[in-house]
Structure 1
Amino acid sequence: MAVGVWFGVLGPLRAEVGGRAARLGGPRQQAVLALLLIAEGRTVSAERILSEVWDGSRPPSMTTLHGYVGDLRRALEPEREPGAPARLLVREGSGYALRITPAAVDAGLFTDLAARGRRSLEGGEPEQATELLGQALALWRGPAYADFAGAAFAAPDATRLEDLRATVREDRLAAVIASGRHAAAVGELEALVAEQPLRERGWELLALALYRSGRQAEALATLRRVRRRLADELGIDPGRGLRELEAAVLAQEPALSPDSRPARGEPLAPETGVATAPAAPGRVPSPHRSAPAPPAGNLPFALSSFVGRGGDLAAVADLLDGHRLVTLTGPGGVGKTRLALEVARARTDADGPWLVELAGLRAPELLTATIATALGLPAASSPDQLAGMLVGRDLLIVVDNCEHLLVPAATVVHTLLSRCGAVRILCTSREPLGITGETVYEVPPLHAETEAAELFLRRAAATQAGWTPGPDDRERIAALCAGLDGIPLAIELAAAQCRTLSVGQIADALEDRFTLLVGGPAGRPDRHRTLLDTVAWSDQLLRPAERRLFHRLGVLCAGFDLEGAAAVGGVTPVLAPLSALVRKSLVTAEPGTAPRRYRMLETLRQYALGFLSPEELAGARERHRAWALSRAESAERHIRGPQGVALLDGLSRDQPEFRAAFASALAEGDGEHALRLGGALFWFWFRRGHVAEGLAWLSQAFAAAPTAGAGVRARARFAVGALRYVAGQTARAHEAARTAIEEAREAGDPVTEASATAYAGYLGLLAGAAVDAAALAGTAVELARRTTQVWLEAETLMVQGMVLRILGDLPGADAVFREAIAAAHASGHDWVADGAAWCDMKTASDRGDGPRALAIAGDILAAMDLYGDISFWLVTVHSAARALTLTGQAEQAALLMGAVEAIGRRAGVSPELMDPIDGPREAAAVRGALPPDEYERHAARGRALSREDASALLTNLIDGHRLPR
């Protein structure tokens, strides 16, 4: 982040650089900055910026946006040299992001101070809370995002900040009261309730401050005034806090006395600043509340044991304590109803709990009467009539399966909650009701290896007396449950098949799960008798555009983003139908991802695929292939720059999609598409150690594309050469590089020609071929410079330095490496600098300087861990093992050699064969430092190490030998 940059959004938009106001341009340009600030460091696509900033008017060209961004960069980074990469407002993929910390924005500082103040208040430190919360409020200069009051993009964040501001004002006044200055708080509180008359906490604090100031009659009058206001304006009774405070005032509870100030550090209730009491944490207790009567209600008795979900039970129970409407969402069969019933059974509401089942109801006009009948009341003709019968009753209503009656159910629920202050409602639905006050809890699948496996075992044992799992069944059951996505209904249906099939047979039949998982118990609702019925119930509730997108998304194998959904679905715009699928629990939004990513359970994905016609399936797969290739080629253009880590991580995340695209292209006979995809992905394969996989796909692609164009063949051929190099097949790698040179020349592709020329010389030396490696390396550098691609110049210089080192020209190699490192830093191609350092490390070992070699290795390892690199990590550890023998640590060196051998075999990388000049010498040095049996004993231990274990071991060894500075 740029030094000395600060932003203000709590009022008119401001930015300061080095303490001086920055000129931010006109309203649209400022709106671009505001949108990026709201994103809090996440990337915002250029398309979204144009759509949201120019909402309601025709957006300008992309050039205009780039111009605005350029102006903002000049204003925010005035010291940046022309052409130097931006550090603050950066380009990422197809969008922009602000690289700032929360403390650089007044809203972030305000949020932090608010949280610290609340913790101080809850922790019994009211004076400190008053100070912190006062500092938070002092940051405000007007309404949040004041310049963008009518802008839709700013409204959600502005509302959030204004709501938090109101809470902070209340927290500060609660702290003032808790510190004994109740009389001083009265005036501010009277102004506060006048401004925000429907926020009940302000009235609570005002009544408490009046009471402690000796104005008990005014306190009681205040409580009665707010009761009348809530009834007149909203038609509701006061909340529990106001009711309990009124009872405490009438009873003149000692806890309300100003003499009852808590000792320093004694926990306080944040709502009022009163010391917490055991009866009701966070509220003033009422001594007159009688013990609840035994529950009434109509909940059915459980017919089978409830397995797992201890955390879910506690979480939903806590939500119901704090909220009057909680909705459990999730896909069909995930266990929403059973969880709701278990939570309800543990409640002690005086008049409940009650269950209302809506699954069999198809007529919305009968909804109110159905609920009344389930509650044992006379049939009601309207929601208002039903509410009138429930006023004053303390009960929980479980409303099960609302998704097909969403609008009428929301209307009835809203009326009941507005009119009946002691009624709580727990809904289950595949989609939230979407009304004010609703808290949504997404019921997760069961954990496959624990809860889900236990459920399978219990239900299977119930199918026939004496059933026990076989010796190998437990692992199969865990895998089976994972394949069923941890969905309880699917697991129970699978377990029921143990009457006729073995666990292995059930697992093998999962590809046809909708035929296998049938025949549920006769007491189940029709929609839960088979797995197909369960998913079809959700499918039937979709609108045409939603259903079309749902079915087409089945071709995606793993998680996906908005762009992927749009490309594969062929739907524009895609946000509305995708949002509907998320709401209806057919697609899951992955929390914490930015930009947001989505996924489908495997069961839902297979269902979706099964409903595509052959023509629709072919079209969806074609769109999927095009999207995968575009994603790979877009990443490849920037992957050797500053964004390399993020892009490699993104390609790792999308790897299942690339595999599916390869399989689809080859099945269609489109070998040229597969070659293009392989050429784009080779650097990812090279760095992340997917060598065998890359070679396999490229081999099939070449076989399927005998007439592919020279340019496509050249890039894919160079990829083959690079992957064969790390696999230790130097002669074949050299041959591929030479062919790639000819194909690149034919295609007029100087970038691939430069790369292939450089490696042809280096690989020729390693393979013992008759080549003028120095001349080839020099030619490659000249070609690279003519392309003006700085990363390419850096890499060809690095290869030239490696060639000169092998030829014995160490001074010449050092000089070239310095040039390569400078170009690497200028382009962000860090791998080049690390490659030069690796050569320096080996030279240090050649000179017997083990400590220096290990110090260099430590720096390289840190970079390899950042990039998730496997190939370079292996050769670095291999070379470091030799350096360890020079420092007297032969046993640890053998241990690491064993780790390199095992991890390299899994990745398809052979450091010893990849580096046939230095690699065998390094291996021989380690083997020669120990007797053969000792070496083998330590190497065998190393073969059991993970990469993380081996890295940690080597890092500790390096730290123990660092020279004092």
Structure 2
Amino acid sequence: MNLAEDVRFGVLGPLRAEVGGRPAALGGSRQRAVLALLLIARGRSIPAERILSEAWEGSPPPSVTTLHGYVADLRRTLEPERAPGAPARLLVREGPGYALRAAPDAVDAERFTELAARGRHALEDGEPEEAADLLGRALALWRGPAYADFDGVAFATPDATRLEELRAAVREDRLAALIAAGRHAAAVGELEILVAEQPLRERGWELLALALYRSGRQADALTALRRVRRRLADELGIDPGPGLRDLEAAVLAQDPRLAPPPERRSPRPAPAPGPPGRVPSPRTAVPAPPPGNLPFSLSSFVGRGGDLAAVAGLLGGHRLVTLTGPGGVGKTRLALEVARARADADGPWLVELGGLHVPEPLTATELLTATVSTALGLPAVSSPDRLAATLVERDTLLVLDNCEHLLAPAAELVHTLLTRCGAVRILCTGREPLGITGEAIYEVPPLPAATEAVELFLHRATAAQPGWTPEPGDRERIAALCEGLDGIPLAVELAAAQCRMLSVGQIADALEDRFTLLVGGSADRPDRHRTLLDTVAWSDQLLEPDERRLFYRLGVFASGFDLDAAAAVGEVAPVLGPLSALVRKSLVIAVPGTAPRRYRMLETLRRYATGALSPAELGDAEERHRAWVLARAENAERHLRGPQGAELLDGLSRDQPEFRAAFTSALAGGEGEYVLRLGSALFWFWFRRGHVAEGLAWLTEGFTRAPWAGAGLRARARFAEAALNYLAGHPGAGHRSASRAVEEAREAGDPVTEAGAASYAAYLGLLTGVPLDAASSARAAVGMARGTALVWLEAETLMIQGMVLRVLGDLPGADAAFREAIAAARTSGHDWVADGAAWCDMKTACDRGDGLRALAVAGDVLAAMDRYGDISFWLVTAHSAARALALTGRAGQAALLMGAVQAIGARAGVSPELMDPLDGPREAAAVREALPPEEYERHAARGRALSRQEASALLTALIADLTGRHSP
């Protein structure tokens, strides 16, 4: 039986298998869970202990004998023609575990991923009809939710989440293709269904509005955009991302780039912003002193020019504006500055609510109403209706400061005043919005740390100690200090006040204990703003118990997280409600424009949160964080060498602070095996993005802390160590690690790691002069890779076989191996291999003196590296391109590029000259010898100052110039 053709698996819905085109009986839930685990592993071996633990989640695991029985049943089902006693070819035993050797195209999820990538490329290449067809075929593979049998089961959740997220993106891509193909009217109905099912995904709303607009329905397009604005505000407390905002502006302006239908409607006049003269510029208006009770400012107002204009503009178009943001961000001061610049007939009036506490027998509404009427100089009234009757004829602005602890009564009072008094406008401040219809919300951002925050620090430090001036180098330290304080004005001011006692360097060094350092606020501040700790504690006191528990536990995230991550770590179910509350209350920031939506916490709030946990609670939260990090890394690693590679590498780069936090907490807890497992999962990310020194450091720590780790884990970590040592220019150490990885993988029965490590051992042994038959060893590694049915692994080993043959001088054999490698790479989506073969082609062209041919090849490789964000391969390609430039007579540019490669490589821990001891020194020497020493050094010094982006742009321009004038 041809297993590659006759066995098919489906996970895009309930788990199923077909043998010879007929459904296969997969047994009960536990047996199906075993198969699902093996499918998720994508050909890698899973130890039996791990299968028992994860497939029997929540129940005591049975004996290993039970697992053997399930495996035997699955084998009989999946390989019905296998003779008794014959070795299994599909579900195989490897060392202490099992692996499923299914070809990628035998699994519907892999076919879906491949079609999705092809469809996206077609859409980007301007072929919408082809894109719509490919994406439609991808979606037709779905029969229900991914891994529908295992909803909520821990082992299936990461892969199911990835596939569901990709499915949502494919639906959007397909509808975008229909719109691009001119079928916008047909897309509207599907888009209405899409946004109803996924109302928080902004791209669906963008597509709906665009389709409506192109269908001649401009008003409906604007209605859709305003619907999503309200939805995001109500459910997440955030504004739409830049895409939606730009589209709304374009629709209003009937921007020609939206390509409306030929019969265009006249643009609707913009709504009048209010009576003329109502909103003067906050910087230039000098009105006559109005009535009101605003206090005079006691200190200079620093920065915030854009915020002043934005809030003033909102007040012109809305009668209720609420400034939100975390404690100490400057909401009150901004509100007062905006109010001072207005020219209302009556007011503005400030009503301070922060110190208001409700005594018996008054209700909160009665006390609040009485406080507002008294602040306006009116007889105290306790009924919102009576206060509204008093203000019905007045044209005034009320500033209600610090509403967060009286949210419900404030909302009731404000609603009554706005519905009864047509000329009253209200500007509120609080850590969350009031939630009233018509409310415009402005989230006050922190100050830019490098500019306005530094200016504020200098102003306040000088005020605290007249004559104080910064020491040399202090401005850079102050900028870093302000960055560490998140640009929060209160924190910056409290830090600046410490200049009376401490130097800037001492303040920065003490920032680790910021809640002890940042005390002693001025006596005129409210109690909640006397210290940084008081400010955060005030917000903490307003939380509900489940919100507080989630807030504290989210502090273990080092940078950002999504909804699934919050649920995994937060120990609160369901998590959406309390997380939404934390966003509304300005303790968590929803990052606009991210899909799925991501969240983050300011560093000060993060430190407060983790400090509020007991040691046991902190340990539990960190353990959950490590589990989430590991699942995230391992799930991504399975797909990094396929069509989703570039996108997944970007995601891993974004999550790198979380990986570092997990490594740190694991080492603190003595979990060396965890470090090795996470390091093995991240190795390809480190390899591609140039985090070589960091990766080697974590792996070294892991080996030190876990000398007892199992052979399979050691093998994968040794292989990672070998590859990273190769990039670092340590081929001898790389060969030793690769050789040990081969032995340990063989002991563990892990042919995937054994094949990869064997190919590296052959090549690195050849580079370091270790006596061995490198050609035979490389050929054996290819055969072993083919036995795993992992096409990407076959592609990699073929590429390295070609590199071995090239070093041995067998150029025809090398070319043949490279051609096979490229074919396998295209099949599996492992483009890196094709680029590696092209790099070798570059070097061969240079050997023949054909610099133009080498540069033409380099142009394609560099474009791919930029797409992937690859540092390591970009460096070696640029190093070889420098030699090619020298061959074309561009010695000065070659030296400049060589200097850039050396400096960028040193920062990444990658040495192209050392990692390629045969060609690297020849390439460097070719450039050095093309110029006098002093001339070479002058150009190289200029190159060392270039960034990766600048060097890449320079090289790309040179290649375009040279290959445009000369056909390679």
Same fold by TM (over 0.5)?
yes
**Aligned equivalents of 1:461, 1:154: Cα separation in 2:** 47
* Residue 481 of structure 1: aligned partner: 482
For residues 201-212 of structure 1, the aligned pairs below 5 Å read none
**Aligned equivalents of 2:770, 2:194: Cα separation in 1:** 68
Aligned pair 1:609/2:678, yes or no? no
What is the CA deviation profile of residues 675-730 of structure 1, one whole-angstrom value per residue up to 9, with x for unaligned ones?
A: 00110011111111111111111111001001101111000000000000011111
For residues 51-450 of structure 1, the aligned pairs below 5 Å read 93-95=162-164, 96-99=167-170, 104=175, 139=185, 270-271=269-270, 279=276, 295-363=290-358, 364=364, 365-450=366-451
Give the 3 Å change call, closer, same or farther, for CA 163–545 of structure 1 in structure 2: farther
> How far off its partner does 1:143 sit?
8.4
**Aligned equivalents of 1:560, 1:547: Cα separation in 2:** 17
The 3-state SS of whatever aligns with 1:399 is strand
Give the 3 Å change call, closer, same or farther, for CA 277–749 of structure 1 in structure 2: closer
CA contact (8 A) 2:680 2:720 kept: yes
For residues 702-851 of structure 1, the aligned pairs below 5 Å read 702-851=703-852
> How far off its partner does 1:898 sit?
1.1
**Aligned equivalents of 1:108, 1:427: Cα separation in 2:** 42
> Which 10-residue stretch deviates more, 160-169 or 548-557?
160-169
CA contact (8 A) 2:132 2:177 kept: no
> How far off its partner does 1:627 sit?
1.1
> How far off its partner does 1:145 sit?
6.8
CA contact (8 A) 1:331 1:585 kept: yes
Structure 1 letter corresponding to 2:296: F
**Aligned equivalents of 2:558, 2:941: Cα separation in 1:** 38
**Aligned equivalents of 2:178, 2:318: Cα separation in 1:** 27
**Aligned equivalents of 1:167, 1:842: Cα separation in 2:** 51
**Aligned equivalents of 2:731, 2:332: Cα separation in 1:** 62
Structure 1 letter corresponding to 2:269: P
* Residue 695 of structure 1: aligned partner: 696
The 3-state SS of whatever aligns with 2:346 is coil
Report sequence identity in percent.
70
**Aligned equivalents of 2:295, 2:805: Cα separation in 1:** 82
CA contact (8 A) 1:87 1:99 kept: no
> How far off its partner does 1:605 sit?
0.8
What is the CA deviation profile of residues 396-422 of structure 1, one whole-angstrom value per residue up to 9, with x for unaligned ones?
A: 111100100111111111111111111
Give the 3 Å change call, closer, same or farther, for CA 87–918 of structure 1 in structure 2: farther
> How far off its partner does 1:155 sit?
13
**Aligned equivalents of 1:781, 1:84: Cα separation in 2:** 33
> How far off its partner does 1:570 sit?
2.0
Q: Based on CA coordinates, which of the two structures has the bigger radius of gyration?
A: 1
Structure 1 letter corresponding to 2:456: L
What is the CA deviation profile of residues 780-820 of structure 1, one whole-angstrom value per residue up to 9, with x for unaligned ones?
A: 11111111111111111111111111111111111111111
CA contact (8 A) 1:754 1:780 kept: yes
Give the 3 Å change call, closer, same or farther, for CA 84–803 of structure 1 in structure 2: farther
**Aligned equivalents of 2:871, 2:310: Cα separation in 1:** 41
**Aligned equivalents of 2:610, 2:180: Cα separation in 1:** 48
CA contact (8 A) 1:750 1:783 kept: yes
CA contact (8 A) 1:103 1:109 kept: no
**Aligned equivalents of 1:167, 1:958: Cα separation in 2:** 41
**Aligned equivalents of 2:634, 2:749: Cα separation in 1:** 19
**Aligned equivalents of 1:869, 1:164: Cα separation in 2:** 37
* Residue 941 of structure 1: aligned partner: 942
Give the 3 Å change call, closer, same or farther, for CA 549–78 of structure 1 in structure 2: closer
* Residue 633 of structure 1: aligned partner: 634
TM-score by length of 1: 0.75
Give the 3 Å change call, closer, same or farther, for CA 649–155 of structure 1 in structure 2: closer
> Which 10-residue stretch deviates more, 552-561 or 520-529?
552-561
Give the 3 Å change call, closer, same or farther, for CA 672–397 of structure 1 in structure 2: same
What is the CA deviation profile of residues 545-585 of structure 1, one whole-angstrom value per residue up to 9, with x for unaligned ones?
A: 11111111111111111122112212222111111111100
**Aligned equivalents of 2:958, 2:133: Cα separation in 1:** 41
Give the 3 Å change call, closer, same or farther, for CA 281–300 of structure 1 in structure 2: closer
Structure 1 letter corresponding to 2:357: R
CA contact (8 A) 1:710 1:747 kept: yes
**Aligned equivalents of 2:169, 2:903: Cα separation in 1:** 42
The 3-state SS of whatever aligns with 1:638 is coil
Structure 1 letter corresponding to 2:162: G
> How far off its partner does 1:381 sit?
2.3
What is the CA deviation profile of residues 832-860 of structure 1, one whole-angstrom value per residue up to 9, with x for unaligned ones?
A: 00000000010011111110001001111
CA contact (8 A) 2:131 2:174 kept: no
Give the 3 Å change call, closer, same or farther, for CA 577–68 of structure 1 in structure 2: farther
* Residue 47 of structure 1: aligned partner: none
* Residue 507 of structure 2: aligned partner: 506
* Residue 177 of structure 1: aligned partner: none
> How far off its partner does 1:271 sit?
4.0
**Aligned equivalents of 1:417, 1:167: Cα separation in 2:** 38
Give the 3 Å change call, closer, same or farther, for CA 821–106 of structure 1 in structure 2: closer
Segments of 4+ moved more than 2 angstroms: 64-70, 72-94, 97-110, 139-173, 276-282, 291-295
> How far off its partner does 1:896 sit?
1.2
**Aligned equivalents of 1:726, 1:605: Cα separation in 2:** 36
* Residue 564 of structure 2: aligned partner: 563
> Which 10-residue stretch deviates more, 636-645 or 931-940?
931-940
> How far off its partner does 1:941 sit?
1.8
CA contact (8 A) 1:88 1:99 kept: no
Give the 3 Å change call, closer, same or farther, for CA 721–164 of structure 1 in structure 2: closer
Higher relative contact order (CA 8 A, sep 6+): 2
Structure 1 letter corresponding to 2:348: P
For residues 824-903 of structure 1, the aligned pairs below 5 Å read 824-903=825-904
> How far off its partner does 1:83 sit?
14
What is the CA deviation profile of residues 98-139 of structure 1, one whole-angstrom value per residue up to 9, with x for unaligned ones?
A: 4477894699789x9xxxxxxxxxxxxxxxxxxxxxx99xx4
CA contact (8 A) 2:902 2:944 kept: yes
Unmatched tracts of structure 1, length 5 or more: 1-63, 113-134, 174-191, 193-266, 283-290
The 3-state SS of whatever aligns with 1:493 is helix
Structure 2 letter corresponding to 1:97: A
For residues 505-654 of structure 1, the aligned pairs below 5 Å read 505-654=506-655
CA contact (8 A) 2:672 2:706 kept: yes
**Aligned equivalents of 1:871, 1:106: Cα separation in 2:** 35
> How far off its partner does 1:66 sit?
8.1
What's the Cα RMSD here? 3.8
**Aligned equivalents of 1:540, 1:956: Cα separation in 2:** 58
**Aligned equivalents of 1:650, 1:159: Cα separation in 2:** 23
The 3-state SS of whatever aligns with 2:555 is helix
**Aligned equivalents of 1:385, 1:168: Cα separation in 2:** 50
> Which 10-residue stretch deviates more, 80-89 or 607-616?
80-89
CA contact (8 A) 1:625 1:661 kept: yes
